[in-house]
Amino acid sequence: MMELSEQEQIRRQSLAEIRQMGINPYPAARFPVTENAAQILAGFDSTPDKFQDISCAGRLMTRRIMGKASFAELMDHTGRIQIYVNRDELCPEENKEFYNTFFKRLLDLGDIIGVKGEVFRTQVGELTIKVKELTLLSKSVRPLPVVKEKDGVVYDAFTDPDQRYRQRYLDLIVNPQVREVFVKRAKIVSTMREYLDAKGYLEVETPVLQPIHGGAAARPFKTHHNTLDTELFLRIANELYLKRLIVGGFEGVYEFSKDFRNEGMDRFHNPEFTQVELYVPYMDYFWMMDLVEEMVEKVTLALHGTTRVQVGENQIDFKRPWKRYTMFAAIQEFTGIDVSQMDENQLLETCRKLHINTDKSMGKGKLIDEIFGETCESKLIQPTFIMDYPVEMSPLAKKHRSVPGLVERFEGICNGKEICNAYSELNDPIDQRERFEEQLLLAQRGDEEAMALDEDFLRAIEYGMPPTSGLGIGIDRLAMIMTNSQSIQDVIFFPQMRPEKIK
């Protein structure tokens, strides 16, 4: 059994005493809430009569006991409101000791209570609920971290990232400003959904467990299905299934999906992440660039009321149009080196000169990607489209209409990191088979991120897939930018962590 701290032991003793008093510390009955803290603070001055008989519930966060009267703060999901508890108002004449025993001694900070009463303004002007009834709704048997406040400045005792990410519930209690990050994240998704729905595209669902991992270059998580006695993979992308639906005749499909990649973890990567993928027939990557600009601009306006967002030391402006570079032009601008005609050996030599690490599994496409990532990406702060990638890097993208050796692909880069990836989708089944076979050769060289060959997907596009434009936007990365968060763990409620050692 887990060893209890002294404070936890005291709280459990209080819990036992409360039960002995005949009070259920975890009642099953409803407690109807008529007003929350924000509604009271915003509405009292204009309609004070509305707040003469209200009920409110929340967590007890501070308390100042002054004899037979006490002030305390109640925190709900909208903020904090002061409450005033007077023994003579709360207790009948024959039960005055209830106040001293229950409210003053047995209630603790962190307890969840419901109060009924009337709102008034104190002599110092603070809106306050005068409590006429008080109900314990849930006893907290573990004390909250101590948060000190001086001269209006909060000195937070719960700032360790490891603790915050593991105990997000506690982070949200002690650091209520964190809640706003996730409210904005939800607004990002809802704004995108409204935008795509208004265009007539259909939101769909595709399998998370897949017999073949495809749609991206990444190492998958494996699992086993006992009944079918077969190996399955957690999806790394939902691209190949969404394109099957385009073959089936939909005019446009999208999905907000959880995807999984068995790769490294840092402040920009979590093995479980969220993205939205969109596929629209009869369009190309130029059209998709315009859509991304318009949709992200709408998201920015919905969250901030302006196209400008402060991210660290940078002010980023999402107003259309965004800057556009070809990949080779970007490399040449930031390094002075033209890699467009280099073969694999020349690219290896360039990487050596630029002090970029390589290994024998890297083909031509990966070498170019490494050069771009190491020399260009971090310099792209304002929203920028990088276009026209080498064919070796993009086995699912259509070959460029005018430049041999390239594909019609773009990535959106902002604040030094990719936020989206899009193609004119490859719909030639013969070419697609050849690209998959090239991926198999890379896998034989040891590339664990090489794509597998998906025969059913090839069969689908052999029936004919219309020319299509496809897009993937990383919701976590975009949320980092839109909320000025420094780590992807800050915008995921429950990020992946190393196993905790419970004492």
pLDDT at 492: 97
d(CA 238, CA 215): 6
- Residue 340: inside a domain: no
pLDDT at 438: 87
pLDDT at 150: 64
CB 80 within 8 A of CB 153: no
What's the pTM? 0.91
Tell me, yes or no, whether 36 and 133 share the same domain. yes
Tell me, yes or no, whether 451 and 310 share the same domain. yes
Whole-number Cα distances in Å, 456 to 18, 134, 205: 64, 64, 18
Tell me, yes or no, whether 16 and 78 share the same domain. yes
CB 135 within 8 A of CB 9: no
- Residue 475: inside a domain: yes
Specify the amino acid at residue 69.
A
pLDDT at 148: 65
Residue where a domain terminates, one of 92, 117, 144: 144
Tell me, yes or no, whether 236 and 280 share the same domain. yes
Tell me, yes or no, whether 270 and 188 share the same domain. yes
397: domain CATH number is 3.30.930.10
User: What is the residue range of 478's domain?
Assistant: 179-322+382-491
Tell me, yes or no, whether 10 and 79 share the same domain. yes
pLDDT at 307: 98
Total domains, the chain:
2
d(CA 241, CA 215): 9
Residue where a domain terminates, one of 144, 161, 192: 144
Residue segments in the chain with a per-residue pLDDT below the cut of 50: none
Q: Where do the DSSP E strands lie in 100-175? A: 112-121, 127-138, 148-150, 153-155
- Residue 468: inside a domain: yes
pLDDT at 63: 92
116: domain CATH number is 2.40.50.140
CB 405 within 8 A of CB 397: no
pLDDT at 216: 86
Tell me, yes or no, whether 314 and 253 share the same domain. yes
CB 324 within 8 A of CB 289: yes
